[in-house]
Amino acid sequence: MSQYPNRLHELRLRSRLTQAEVAKLLDVSMSSIAKFETGTRQPSREEIIGLARLYKVETFELFLSEQDHTIPVVGGYQREPYNGVLPAVDGDTASAIERQDAEAVPA
């Protein structure tokens, strides 16, 4: 089973919002929020986007548990807390990004 029901509950509690408040902000029923959090109903694409914006996370983070922030990378999986930045694939890619950043800054 997906982790999203628990994750939605965790994020709502962290945001110090009630189900009624989340429902009002997303313009859905309170029972919909309860069903999202119990896994008896999956949120629509629009609801996923709204939840991510409300909780200030990326949409894919709604589907990760607080304990399991597994980030897919080329060649396997890297296990570490997600800090909002995906790791570079290799040194060449990181160097290319740094060069682009340096070129974008006016001298």
Rounded to whole angstroms, the Cα distance separating 61 from 40 reads 20
Regarding whether 55 and 17 lie in a shared domain, the answer is yes
pTM of the model: 0.60
Amino acid 17: pLDDT = 92
Q: What mean pLDDT comes out for the span 78-97?
A: 51
Q: What mean pLDDT comes out for the span 57-63?
A: 83
CATH number for the domain including 40?
Answer: 1.10.260.40
Number of domains present in the structure of the chain: 2
Regarding whether 41 and 80 lie in a shared domain, the answer is no
Amino acid 3: pLDDT = 76
Q: What mean pLDDT comes out for the span 41-57?
A: 91
Tens digits of per-residue pLDDT, 5-43?
A: 888 998 999 899 999 999 999 999 999 999 999 999 999
Regarding whether 52 and 19 lie in a shared domain, the answer is yes
Regarding whether 75 and 53 lie in a shared domain, the answer is no
**Assign residue 56 a region: left if phi > 0, alpha if psi is -120 to 50, beta otherwise?**
left
**Domain that residue 58 falls in:** 4-63
